[in-house]
Structure 1
Amino acid sequence: MLVAGVAAALLLMGSAPAVPSAAPAALRRALHAASVQIDPPGCSGVLAENDQIVVTARHCIDPGVEKLRVRFTNGATRAGWVVATDEAADQAVLFLDDPVHIEPLPIVRRRAIPGTVLYFEGNPSRPRFQSARLDKIGRCPSLPELPNALFTSIAGVPGDSGAPLVDVVAEVVGLVHGGARCHIATPADTLLRLVERVLERDDVRMTRVPARSGPRRSAVSAGHSRHS
């Protein structure tokens, strides 16, 4: 398992500084593989929780748009249907027309704690792997209805919106909201609720999709309905 492999690598590394200069190779590979570019408009996102679920920033989706092109770092492309949005949290869920044989990253279930070490790659079309830090949790002027925005030390640039920030075991802690102007990410708790809402909908059903190797695993498929 990815989490076990990353944890083992950390044990071998011993004590780490507050913001380490390097991350386990397994974490970097997993983050890069699961990261996506959303076209248009060239934002970022990540395969999360399931091999047909991509999450990104809501502001990356123009009003009325129902389908976007999702590009993976291995060259795969999929159509992603907009199936759920959270305006207050600036988060959106895309449902892929076909599964991908890429390991999705889990969304963290733990509460974020200031001082946590984070890792960030940015837009996968021009990856810039960084170690960063969660500085504080609070309100951001551009997210007035969200009480727990994540203030971080990432160095974002245009195109990074929707990119994931992950913890030391490659779990998604947040999604980039502010890009170059504001080192802000939206939190995992609202993101997890949004994804779970999609998976519980009546037009989402469980299917069996062959994995790349080993036993078969579950994925989801859905009718292409409008987002809620």
Structure 2
Amino acid sequence: MSTPLHKRKVKEHQEQQFLSQKKSNVEKISEIISFLNRWDQGFIDLEKVPRLFENPSLFFQVLDVLEGFGIFSKTESGYTKNTQRDIDQLVVPSNFDYEILQMKQEINKLYNQELFIDRCIEMMQNEPKQMIEKINEKNGIALEDIYKTPELEQQKVFVVKANKIDLNVPPPQNTPTGKIYSLKLTSDQPLEIMEQKKTDSEIGNNSEKENIEVSIRTFF
């Protein structure tokens, strides 16, 4: 009969094995990303994948995620790379499983944006002024490429590439109006914040903001 001490040691051993496997997957995902960024032949043959990696299932999992971003297209016999853009510029939504979250961390480390990107959407929804300060710390260049993802689209959150940021967050219930925060980015000055109140019907027709280089839109 197992004693409490024996059960505890078995549990600790299982947890250690689990953590070791996670760490191993992080290293493998990093290798997969590096491999895919170097891949210049366009097509990846599914039959050759097992010979390329000792963990093909993880390789396919990463490819499936990248397919969701439009980087790869899946066919019956393999995957086709749709763009020459490096995969390490992707930002992975936070609701993916552990391995994909680790992939996100590896990606962000390559751009030294780990904390910045992790907090980007959260801050934009809850702390717009702090978000502006964060962008200023990065001299306005840290948001070069953040991709629109299906998960964020379901939440009606849109992130536009380059120096235009447009986050459209659903307003809380019983909140008929929203606030628009517009950021101006200049070469020699930090970002400035302007606040304007508009009704929901006016939010979509914000033509007066077309010439602003960086704009952020959020509801409260």
Higher strand share: 1
TM-score, length-scaled by structure 1: 0.27
Higher relative contact order (CA 8 A, sep 6+): 1
Structure with the larger helix share: 2
